[in-house]
Structure 1
Amino acid sequence: MSKDPRTVVIIGAGVIGLTIAHVLSSDPSNACEIVMIARDMPEDIDSQGWASPWAGANWTPMPMGGLDERIKRWETVTFNKLWDMIPTGLVKPLPSRMYSDQENNFVDPWYKDLPRDFRVLPSHDIPSVYKSGIGFTTISVNPSVYLSWLKSQLESRGVQFVRKKLRSIEEAADAAGPDGIVVNATSLGARSLIGVQDTKMYPVRGQTILVHAPHLREFLGEAEVYPNGGVTYMIPRPGPDSTVLLGGTTQAHNWDTSYDKETSDQIFTRCAALEPRLLEKDTVHVLSHNVGLRPAREGGPRVEIEWMKLPLEGRLVPRMDSAIPQARKVLVLHAYGFGPAGYQESWGAAEEAVNLLKSSILRSGSN
């Protein structure tokens, strides 16, 4: 990076923006001042305006890793990073089982070398309602604790946090200054951020139930998605409070953030069929019903560099002040659109994003 500190403004304080800031600030050679500007901050765990507090926040097999080598690399880097963090208590190792009603669903999966202890389950270890199954050891984090840890790490390194809703890339560039850099980690906000307005972004509605269930200590799930967007999984979380997230739904293009009782009943019924101990009323207690919108993108996540011309064209573009803007270019790093995989791709994507940023600065001849 530049020898003279420059300002890097990161828009969005979700898991992707925070992880990029962590990677950027971890290397002393990256001489920069980092400012995170966001409407929602890590302490806003009850806000439905962003996705990070509502995530499953574990590693779960997803199809994109088998279709895109870049995403597979992100997932590999992230899994290994989180696995190494287990001694901190922030990350929980989880023995896991997944089942399918398809006989050949788990034949040579792309992820077989990624989680630990991967194995195809023998027929006598598979419930009779399923036709195949796999076992492995995965990891999970508790979003409220993990996001707060990331923020505290960044604050200890001098990263500034500013609570503000930015309406345009130009506002972010103004905050970064003449030689500044903008990182666009706005997730669903990329649809409406002026200068980006990415109409490929769309929500995937997720509804879950958080329960206290101290005797549930493994990840359980089904591979299939039901016609109404229902999915079945149970994710124990790290920490002494013995919480387990029961899911869920994956409903594309659904913006509804309201609680739906019928959906909740279906989630609990499916999970209890897979793990009957959920019906033990003396030990299992419902703590909350949750609804969040995953920030998905047609064609997959966008992680790339763009040099944007300022001022943005159009007389309706809002500005922070009435000063006449000077014509210039600003370096923008886009990192958004991770859908349901933000946590499990975060470290790999952040490392690539920072490398892209450093390479672009070197190519531009900046000193």
Structure 2
Amino acid sequence: MTSNLAPPRQKHIIILGAGITALSTSLALHNLKHIAKSSTPFAQTIIAAHLPGDSSIDYTSPWAGGHWRSHASTADLESESRLRKWDKRTYEVWMEMLEDGRLSEDEINDLGLGIRESRNYWAKETAETTRDGSGLWWSKERELESDDEPVDSRSVKAMKGGGVKDFAVLDLASEKSIGVENIPDGAVFGIKYTTVCINIPQYLSHRFRSAKDRGTTVIKDTVDTSAGIEGVVKDAKRILISQNREAQEEDIFAVINCTGLGARHFVGDEESAKLYPVRGQTILVKGEALKARSYVEFGEGTEEDELLYVIPRPGSGTTILGGCKQKGNWSGDVDKVLNGRILQRAKEYGLAEELRTGNGREFEVLGFQVGLRPGREGGPRMEAEKRKVDETWLVHSYGHSGGGYQCSAGCGEEVAEIVLGLEHEVFA
């Protein structure tokens, strides 16, 4: 006996943006059918004005450093608890990808991630510089808060663990006497641990290709933001339907807003006022540093928002030197004076001596870059609108500031869980 019931129509999800948050969200949504038995696999479409390979001050992801270094505090606050969970999950995902043996050496090189030692130094005492390392939540094994329990069972064991690999508080006096590593003059505290460094252009392109290979469609277009969130949802649906003849408006289940600072143009005045840029400026130099290194809390006065970091880009033969965190600065212009300070500090504090291969033991500078991290008062916004917008769910994921990469896998999974919850609510 055959059934005359037509198969359920495929539901569509539109993702706005093509930065690391959007791409990680797309990949997490593709995993839903594996981890949660979603009733109908979603067809996904990314709509974005800028894609990997593009250069624009309005497209933040290509300009990142970057490596895994959580900036979430130990505070007993929901916002910090969520950051800790996302950052920890991303560390786990990256380490699993690099260490579980499923990827060949060529595949790892194509991925753009690499395991390195990181050494971090402080010039002043802060809440992070406790002598037992407890000021850094990721310093040791610890139980996560009860509301941090994972939704599925994929990583229960891993999520119960706390610390990153090989964490240790450094005995700076002993380190100086040994003389293997340069210790910055004035440093009062230091740590080392195993991190994951990122070849940003490579990794971003890899995530983009992976999403497309899994079935995500990409439309390069600009969504009209002049009519607020309802106008954005309407125009996103219009763009999808104009490009996909099989898609019908009633099939579009959700729009996911991963537009970073671009969200300020349509989320409403109250929410828009919470968004601000955190300007960063870095220098790309020849050579791949042996370790990631940083030195913070040395700046005073007009230089208080400056720091020094050295981040190798695995497999590229290059390294990023930075930088600054200039809150509220919208300028995309390269500050030549700041460039001079970055290079001088790298030499003065000796954090990248192996890269001083140019004439006169100078760094061989390959380029400069400026990016605007998408800051938000109160931390990232990760939630669905309480009511549908133009008969479609709208989910937000933006405001990750300088932590977009290091929380990307965890954030993507939480957005997927939000979408799954909406689906179960509708189709229960």
Matched, 1:222 2:295: yes
C-alpha separation in 2, matches of 1:40 and 1:10 = 13
Corresponding residue of 1:106:
129
Task: Identify which of 201, 224, 235 aligns with 1:171.
Answer: 235
CA contact (8 A) 1:257 1:292 kept: yes
Task: Identify which of 53, 62, 66 aligns with 2:71.
Answer: 62
C-alpha separation in 1, matches of 2:74 and 2:204 = 24
Letter in 2 for 1:172: A
Structure 1 residue 25 displacement after superposition: 1.3
**Structure 1 stretches lacking a partner, 5+ long:** 311-327
Cα offsets for 1:156-185 (capped at 9, x unmatched): 122111001112232124446223110000
C-alpha separation in 2, matches of 1:65 and 1:341 = 16
Task: Identify which of 379, 383, 400 aligns with 1:304.
Answer: 383
Letter in 2 for 1:91: L
Matched, 1:125 2:201: no
C-alpha separation in 1, matches of 2:403 and 2:280 = 13
1:179-194 aligned at under 5 Å gives the runs 179-180=251-252, 181-193=254-266
Cα offsets for 1:36-63 (capped at 9, x unmatched): 000000121x222211000112112314
139-148 or 332-341: bigger deviation: 139-148
C-alpha separation in 1, matches of 2:164 and 2:348 = 26
From the two aligned structures, give the one with the greater strand fraction. Answer: 1
Letter in 2 for 1:32: F
Corresponding residue of 1:290:
369
C-alpha separation in 1, matches of 2:118 and 2:51 = 32
C-alpha separation in 1, matches of 2:410 and 2:62 = 20
Structure 1 residue 221 displacement after superposition: 0.4
Corresponding residue of 1:160:
217
Corresponding residue of 1:273:
348
SS of 1:4's partner is coil
For normalisation by structure 1, the TM-score amounts to 0.88
Letter in 1 for 2:235: E
Letter in 1 for 2:236: A
C-alpha separation in 2, matches of 1:257 and 1:362 = 44
Kindly tell me: are residues 4 and 64 of structure 1, through their superposed partners in 2, closer, same or farther at Cα, counting changes over 3 Å?
Answer: farther
Corresponding residue of 2:338:
263
Letter in 2 for 1:231: L
1:22-61 aligned at under 5 Å gives the runs 22-28=27-33, 29-30=37-38, 31-44=41-54, 46-61=55-70
SS of 1:150's partner is helix
C-alpha separation in 1, matches of 2:280 and 2:403 = 13
For normalisation by structure 2, the TM-score amounts to 0.76
C-alpha separation in 2, matches of 1:306 and 1:83 = 34
Kindly tell me: are residues 329 and 13 of structure 1, through their superposed partners in 2, closer, same or farther at Cα, counting changes over 3 Å?
Answer: same
Structure 1 residue 115 displacement after superposition: 2.4
CA contact (8 A) 1:85 1:91 kept: no
C-alpha separation in 1, matches of 2:139 and 2:8 = 43
C-alpha separation in 2, matches of 1:294 and 1:65 = 23
C-alpha separation in 2, matches of 1:129 and 1:195 = 46
C-alpha separation in 1, matches of 2:298 and 2:278 = 13
C-alpha separation in 2, matches of 1:65 and 1:25 = 32
CA contact (8 A) 1:169 1:193 kept: no
Corresponding residue of 2:145:
none
Cα offsets for 1:313-367 (capped at 9, x unmatched): xxxxxxxxxxxxxxx421011000000000000000110110011111211236x
CA contact (8 A) 1:235 1:245 kept: yes
Corresponding residue of 1:19:
24
Matched, 1:251 2:326: yes
C-alpha separation in 2, matches of 1:333 and 1:309 = 10
CA contact (8 A) 1:13 1:40 kept: yes
Task: Identify which of 119, 122, 131 aligns with 1:97.
Answer: 119
CA contact (8 A) 1:106 1:134 kept: no
346-355 or 82-91: bigger deviation: 82-91
SS of 1:344's partner is coil
Q: Would you say how many aligned residue pairs link Structure 1 and Structure 2?
A: 345
SS of 2:385's partner is strand
CA contact (8 A) 1:106 1:120 kept: no
Cα offsets for 1:69-123 (capped at 9, x unmatched): 1110100100111112225232111111111123564211212033210001013
Structure 1 residue 147 displacement after superposition: 1.2
CA contact (8 A) 2:46 2:217 kept: yes
Kindly tell me: are residues 64 and 332 of structure 1, through their superposed partners in 2, closer, same or farther at Cα, counting changes over 3 Å?
Answer: farther
CA contact (8 A) 2:200 2:313 kept: no
SS of 1:97's partner is strand
CA contact (8 A) 2:284 2:320 kept: yes
CA contact (8 A) 2:32 2:416 kept: no
CA contact (8 A) 1:65 1:71 kept: no
Structure 1 residue 136 displacement after superposition: 0.8
